[in-house]
Amino acid sequence: MKKTILGNPKIVITVTGPLLKYRLDIIREVSPNIKDYLIIFTDRFSYDLYHEHHDFFNFVLMDEYRNKNPFSLKYERFPDFKTEAEFLEKFDTFYGNNTGVYYPHEVHRFVFDYLIENNILNFVITQSDFIFQNDSTMIKEFFDNIPQGTLYGPTMGNESQNSDYVWNSIQEKFPLISLKYDKSLISCDGFLRGFFFNNICDMKLFYNIWNEAIQIPIKNKYRHTSPLYFTDFIVPTLMQFFAKQKNYNFCDMYKFAFIKKMGKDIGRHYTRVEDTLYMGEREGWKNHNFDYSDTSTVSNFIENNKERLIRYYEPFNTTATNKHVYTRMK
């Protein structure tokens, strides 16, 4: 039998809309040496807004994959705001309780189609505010250290939510796996998901279950306190189903994130302030005394808060201009 040649490991970062061009600016500036590992997953509308970065990043468009999924097209919606200022001004006219529409942050699942097509079994899906070391050798070491048959994320203790209502409703569609767990489930933060599948067959099964499961909370409009759909529990729960029945190991990502040979972490997730202004002032940030008098653009907010932002990003080597706050790993 001819052996399948696996594609190179990848880091998938999903960005949509005009505001997240700011994140691409930062990634390009602080981690240019890892660009060959990156896939920027976006939609056609947003891709056209990111024309300044077409010469640098490897963009994969989600449209051809989403277009095959009527559920996603109906329920997982994006506004057609073309500018940062328009996005910040009109965000709550599109997303939120008043409209019953919430941001579908797990559209990143559609990258599975692309990864399957290219035999990429070893990959990370992470958020655009995860800052990586600017060292491709370190990223290679990270992926090389992950055994095949491993699923991982940033664990957070026992899962407090009961999600049986999801799994019971779709069980009959997947007779080859039991969507039940007889122990306490572990919850994970949503900023990173890591996968090294044993084979394409398992990867397709995982993806198909994910596509079915996500419909339940979205149709019922389950959401976070912020205007995002509450679907974070699906992937870590699926990972644990696979660990129990499909010969996988489920691990905390921090088992791999620290590269012993180099004595450093591969990166760090840190929620950004200056480009999440549409969320309003957050309780956990009040001690930073940010000035919210002008939130019409990211640059205006930065200009009024430059020193405060530098203090907020203290764990990084931080450089603030009038338009960007660049955060580099120490």
* pLDDT tens, residue by residue, 146-165: 999 999 999 999 988 889 99
- 326: number of Cβ within 10 Å: 16
Is position 2 within any domain?
no
- pTM reported for the whole predicted model: 0.96
pLDDT of 107 over the 50 cut: yes
Is position 253 within any domain?
yes
| Integer Cα distance of 61 and 1 in angstroms | 33
Quote the percentage of the chain above a pLDDT of 70.
Answer: 99
- 132 and 188 in a single domain? The answer is yes
Is position 206 within any domain?
yes
Is position 291 within any domain?
yes
- 251 and 311 in a single domain? The answer is no
pLDDT of 3 over the 60 cut: no
- 154 and 118 in a single domain? The answer is yes
| Integer Cα distance of 191 and 229 in angstroms | 14
pLDDT of 4 over the 90 cut: no
- 279 and 247 in a single domain? The answer is no
Is position 1 within any domain?
no
Is position 74 within any domain?
yes
- 254 and 295 in a single domain? The answer is no
What's the domain count of the chain? 2
Could you tell me the residue range of the domain that residue 315 belongs to? 270-330
The last residue of one of the domains, among 249, 267, 285, is 267
- 128 and 20 in a single domain? The answer is yes
- 70 and 142 in a single domain? The answer is yes
The burial of 210, by beta-carbon neighbours within 10 Å (0-12 exposed, 13-18 middle, 19 or more buried), is given as: middle
The last residue of one of the domains, among 218, 252, 267, is 267
- 238 and 295 in a single domain? The answer is no
Task: Kindly report which listed range (11-20, 205-214, 220-229, 262-271) carries the lowest average pLDDT score.
Answer: 220-229
How many Cα atoms are found within 13 Å in the side-chain-facing hemisphere of 239? 25
pLDDT of 6 over the 90 cut: no
- 280 and 216 in a single domain? The answer is no
The H-assigned helical ranges of the chain are 21-30, 44-49, 63-66, 70-75, 84-94, 111-117, 136-144, 164-170, 200-213, 215-219, 234-245, 254-257, 298-312
- 155 and 224 in a single domain? The answer is yes
pLDDT tier, 1 (very low <50, low <70, confident <90, very high otherwise):
very low
- 223 and 275 in a single domain? The answer is no
pLDDT for 136-148, tens place per residue? Answer: 999 999 999 999 9
The last residue of one of the domains, among 214, 248, 267, is 267
112: domain CATH number is 3.90.550
N-to-C CA span, the chain: 47
pLDDT tier, 222 (very low <50, low <70, confident <90, very high otherwise):
confident
Angle (CA) 325 317 262, round 5°: 135
Is position 321 within any domain?
yes
Residue whose token pair is 């939510």: 161
Is position 5 within any domain?
no
Mean pLDDT of 92-100: 93
- 161 and 306 in a single domain? The answer is no
pLDDT tier, 181 (very low <50, low <70, confident <90, very high otherwise):
confident
Mean pLDDT of 209-227: 93
Which run of H or E residues covers position 102? Answer: none
